[in-house]
Amino acid sequence: MKFNIELPEWLKESLEEEYKEYVKVTPMTPKERRAVREWVKNGNSVHSNPEDAWQDGMVPLDFLDTYRDTEYILEHTKGMNNEERAKFAMAYYGWDEPDDTIPDSNFEPLTEVTGNPFI
């Protein structure tokens, strides 16, 4: 694999091996394979993503997962303005429901560090 940036040889070998194993076991279209390959050629792991998105359990989403999400959102928001597109994306990720964890307007933000955030 010819990388698009300068990387140490050990990293090139590691990324290329990771890529080869990933495409062996992960079903994907030719377009998705090209996107994953280009991501790796730019010095990235298949197990990282440009949005720095994480799954539950603090595990980063694979590039392909976020790529597929982005493609889905773009396909379904053609012709929408930015506000409509953002609303669609928020609903797609389940962020359009009220969040009971968000404090109400009477909440006073922390203005001083006490050393222990739990006291």
Q: Is the pLDDT of residue 4 over 80?
A: yes
Q: pLDDT of 93-104, one tens digit each? A: 888 766 555 545
Q: What is the pLDDT, as a whole number, of residue 99?
A: 56
Please tell me whether residue 39 adopts helix, strand or coil conformation.
helix
Mean pLDDT of the chain: 84
| Domain residue ranges of the chain, discontinuous segments joined by + | 30-92
Q: Looking at 15-19, 22-26, 58-62, 64-68, which range is the least confident one?
A: 58-62
- List, as one string, the DSSP characters of 94-106: T--S--TTS--TT
Please tell me whether residue 54 adopts helix, strand or coil conformation.
strand
Res. 58 pLDDT band, cuts 50 70 90: confident
pTM, full prediction: 0.73
Query: Residues of 51-70 as b/e, b for ≥16 C-beta within 10 angstroms?
Result: eeeeeeeeebbbbbebbebe
Q: For 16-43, what is the mean pLDDT?
A: 97
* Residue 102, beta-bridge partner list: none
Q: Is the pLDDT of residue 117 over 50?
A: no
